[in-house]
Amino acid sequence: MRQFRPPELAAYIQSGHTPVLLDVREPWEWNLCRLPGAILIPMRELPARLSELNKDAETIVICHHGVRSYHAARYLETAGFVDVVNLAGGVAAWADEVDPAMPRY
């Protein structure tokens, strides 16, 4: 599985790529901060909501520190998703490395 650090993802998006940004955190976390354009499907809901996602689309999986997203990305791969990327460091690293104005928790 590929992994991006936040600056890599920011540059990737800025260069015109349009991956699906899948946030697997809980709603209370999502309400505190999120990447622009991301969609929320909490990790615990992922198995029941797979049909909402395109298995052929490039999907970047996001969480707080990159651990839940890593496990969710592995799950997506076993479910037949062909292009899954984990955001290493999660939104915490995004705030540190890309957007210092992003709220932290």
Catalytic residues: 63
What letter does residue 44 receive in the DSSP assignment?
G
Under the phi-then-psi rule, with left for phi > 0, alpha for psi from -120 to 50, and beta for the rest, what region is 38? beta
